[in-house]
Amino acid sequence: MSGVALALEVVVVFFLALFLLHRYGDFRKQHRMVLFATLLAWFLCFLIVFILPLDVSTTIYNQCKTDNQVHLVATKTVNHDNSSNSSVFPTQRVPKICQKPWSYIPDGILPVFWRVVYWTSQFLTWLLIPFMQSYARSGGFSISGKIKTALIENAIYYGTYLLIFCSLLIYVAVTPELHLSWSGLRTIGITAANTWGLFLLVLLLGYGLVEIPRTYWRASCHGQLLAKTYFKAAKLMTEKADAEENLEDVMEDVRTVNETIKYNHPLRKCIDTILKKCPVEYQEKMGRNMDDYEDFDDKGNPYPSKKSLVKLHKQVIYAVQRHNRTQVQWQILLDKAFHLEDVAKNESSSTHKFVHSFPSAEPPGWISKYLYTPTVEWYWECVFRRWCYRVLAVVLCVFSAAVVWSECTFFSTQPVLSLFAVFIQLAERDYNYVYIEMACFVTIFFLCYCVYSTVFRIRVFNYYYLAPHHQTDAYSLQFSGMLFCRLTPPLCLNFLGVIHMDSTISHQTRQPTAYTSIMGSMQVLSFIANGFYIYYPMLIVLLCIATYFSLGTRCLNLLGFQQFVGENDLTSDLVDEGRELIRRERRKRQRTEDGESRRREWRERNSEQRERYGGRNRSAYSELKETDGSGTDTGRAQSRRDRSDKAELLQDVEPLDFTGEEPLETDNRRSAGGHYLSTSASRACIFDDV
């Protein structure tokens, strides 16, 4: 059963990481190595989070077995001492009943598993991903050129961390009570990495503990959510215009270089590589203006160098990516704004049926027909959704308060003040492993959600930005994978310290988990183990207070970076501007929809007329065909009767004298009065059609 649980969690985590990568990355356009490195980094970090509760339950079971063995040895010793005195009866100690958890993992598997996962993630975050970031961002035209650029850019990066490691090494060397060894050096490296990660972890966690519950609470307030959407529309429109202008400038440079360097120039291959990265419409324009039959002159105008072409190639990649991202985000934001406006209009509907301003052109599926009907959609969007968000926000506030309290008191073991440690110890007395694993999973999942969602929310200008709907560039994807690998190990250590499963922090004599065993003894650097790891997380209180009062947002707003700050003149102006932009886009889309509906009606009307006329022609053709078929069945008998009738008529007709005058017309059977004349005189013509 333990193997099934481990394998199931591995599969679930893999598909979770694959789903997120598909949402933010682009499998068709981005490099396979970039996607693989990001997927591996996310998969390893999520795997640590999901497997750690199993490590906790397994450690508790092993601790129970160890306590029974200690009690058994102590009982034998006491009985042996008392056997020498016949007046003292031997004592019996009842051992504990250790129930094996359903997800028990045998000894020896978890240490190897954690060692492989941890060192692989560290190799990714400190060596491979930084190198691949520079490689993917490079504008080189060959593999060797990109590798050279990546090594030069990462020289300072690697040198900084080498300096930090050497400083810690010198500290250990000058301390007389510490002895250098391979395990000690490994512990120093792990401690340095975890210290850097914990420093960033507290900053992100302090922001997420307040901002996530507040986000859900504000999502229940429809008016404020719509105003913030208008604010985002005004900002995104500015960014969209800047991206279009930047793309035009870069394409102008590409056009100039394309006209300068002709087909037989040595650098023409570089120009062709740059043109492949340009949008299709620009490629067509440059192709029409290109005269491939003009030779270049070495003594003519100066040509750009390869270094300048590398820089131009890098600018083209960045400009095209930014332009495509803003276009997609603008359409998504428009759909969101239209939906929120539809919700505001439908709140006062008396029919209790949700009506969309722009219904989908695709036919509704069986879910929309039978489950998510317009009535159900109205009750969810206009009634139940806001209350669900408010209840969820309150629950998240309770969790945030419990986390802040536990982070400030987890160092106290007598009495136990950490709430999560109290819950785990109560379940440990009854060996309720299911409750232990669920409590551990919910706790660490909430911590990861606060930290990871902050990583997905933050934006460092256009340098780092995770945009959904396949609009994240390769550099940002790898940067997020690097952050995950650096934040997850200290996050897990902090969680184990909060529930008092880390003996280094709690100073308890108990069996360590397999995860903490690979970290080594933190006492090699006592000022970090006994000081920084314990007291630095208390800073989370100040960060939560600053986030609650939006001090960071207000500071950015004062520095000129537009932020949504409640009652503010600049915010109100941007909201009004965004409202006008949405109104203009609504009118434009409405005109487009009206034009499409008129064309659709015209096509349907013409198709109906064609079908009606075509039906008439087909019916006439079928009648003619049936007439021809019936005539062929009685052809011989009818021909015999016709010949006999003609012979009789010829005998009755009187001969006419030829006088040169034209014969009387017998075809016109209509008299002047409008009545038909008798047809007895023209019976000879009735068989002409046979």
Q: What is the 3-state secondary structure (H, E, C) of 463-531?
A: CEECCCCCCCCHHHHHHHHHHHHHHHHHHHHHHHHHCCCCHHHHCCCCCCCHHHHCCCCHHHHHHHHHH
Q: Is 30 helix (H, G, I), strand (E, B) or coil?
A: coil
Nearest 5°: the CA angle 191, 66, 445 is: 50
Band (pLDDT 50/70/90 cuts) for residue 638 is low
Q: From the DSSP assignment, how many helices (H) and strands (E) are in the chain? A: 24, 2
At 166 the pLDDT is 79
Residues facing 459 on adjacent strands: 465
In one-letter notation, the amino acid at residue 368 is: S
- Ranges 29-38, 75-84, 234-243, 250-259: which has the least confidence: 75-84
Is pLDDT above 50 for 668?
no
Which of the two residues, 655 and 449, has the higher pLDDT score?
449
Q: Per the domain annotation, does 527 fall within a domain?
A: yes
Instruction: Give the model confidence (pLDDT) of 437-462 as tens digits.
Output: 999 999 999 999 999 999 888 877 66
Instruction: Give the model confidence (pLDDT) of 223-248 as tens digits.
Output: 889 999 999 999 999 999 999 999 99
Pairing of strands 459-460, 464-465: antiparallel
- Ranges 114-123, 634-643, 648-657: which has the least confidence: 648-657
The count of other CB atoms within 10 Å of the CB of residue 278 is 21
Q: Per the domain annotation, does 44 fall within a domain?
A: yes
Which of the two residues, 181 and 500, has the higher pLDDT score?
500
Residues facing 670 on adjacent strands: 676
pTM over 0.75: yes
Which of the two residues, 630 and 422, has the higher pLDDT score?
422
Instruction: Give the model confidence (pLDDT) of 294-325 as tens digits.
Output: 554 544 557 788 889 999 999 999 999 999 99
At 681 the pLDDT is 42
Phi first, then psi, for residue 464 (nearest 5°) are -140, 125
Q: Which residue has the tokens 């490691």?
A: 165
CA distances from 196 to 31, 83, 167, 455, 484 (A): 30, 58, 14, 16, 13
At 602 the pLDDT is 86
Q: Per the domain annotation, does 480 fall within a domain?
A: yes
> In this structure, is the dihedral angle defined by the CA atoms of residues 258, 262, 263 and 269, taken in order, positive or negative?
negative
Q: Per the domain annotation, does 214 fall within a domain?
A: yes
Is pLDDT above 70 for 219?
yes
Q: Is 347 helix (H, G, I), strand (E, B) or coil?
A: coil
Instruction: Give the model confidence (pLDDT) of 83-122 as tens digits.
Output: 555 554 445 555 667 788 888 888 888 899 999 999 999 9
Share of the chain above pLDDT 90, in %: 32
Cis peptide before 663 (omega within 30 of 0): no
Q: What is the mean pLDDT of residues 654-673?
A: 41
Nearest 5°: the CA angle 351, 354, 358 is: 130
- Number of domains within the chain: 1
Task: Report the C-alpha gap between 178 and 120 in whole angstroms.
Answer: 29
Is pLDDT above 50 for 565?
yes
Q: Per the domain annotation, does 630 fall within a domain?
A: no
What's the burial of 444, exposed, middle or buried (CB within 10 Å: 0-12/13-18/19+)? Answer: buried
Q: Per the domain annotation, does 105 fall within a domain?
A: yes
Is pLDDT above 50 for 326?
yes
Instruction: Give the model confidence (pLDDT) of 476-498 as tens digits.
Output: 899 999 999 999 999 998 899 89
List, as own/partner pairs, every contact residues 189-193 make where C-beta atoms lie below 8 angstroms and the sequence separation is at least 24, other chains included.
Answer: 189/165, 190/519, 190/520, 191/522, 191/524, 191/525, 191/528, 191/529, 192/164, 192/165, 192/168, 193/122, 193/126, 193/486, 193/489
Q: Is 101 helix (H, G, I), strand (E, B) or coil?
A: coil
Q: Per the domain annotation, does 302 fall within a domain?
A: no
In one-letter notation, the amino acid at residue 197 is: G
Note whether 259 and 290 are within 8 A (CB).
yes
At 334 the pLDDT is 93
- Domain range holding 65? 1-220+370-570
Beta strands in 96-207 (DSSP E): none
Task: Report the C-alpha gap between 280 and 243 in whole angstroms.
Answer: 17
List, as own/partner pairs, every contact residues 578-585 make where C-beta atoms lie below 8 angstroms and the sequence separation is at least 24, other chains included.
Answer: 578/229, 578/230, 578/231, 578/232, 578/233, 578/234, 578/237, 579/230, 581/230, 581/233, 581/234, 581/237, 582/230, 582/233, 582/334, 582/337, 582/338, 582/341, 585/334
Task: Report the C-alpha gap between 146 and 135 in whole angstroms.
Answer: 5
Q: Is 93 helix (H, G, I), strand (E, B) or coil?
A: coil
- 388: Cβ contacts below 8 Å, ≥ 6 apart: none
Is pLDDT above 60 for 683?
no
Average pLDDT, the chain: 80
Q: Per the domain annotation, does 238 fall within a domain?
A: no
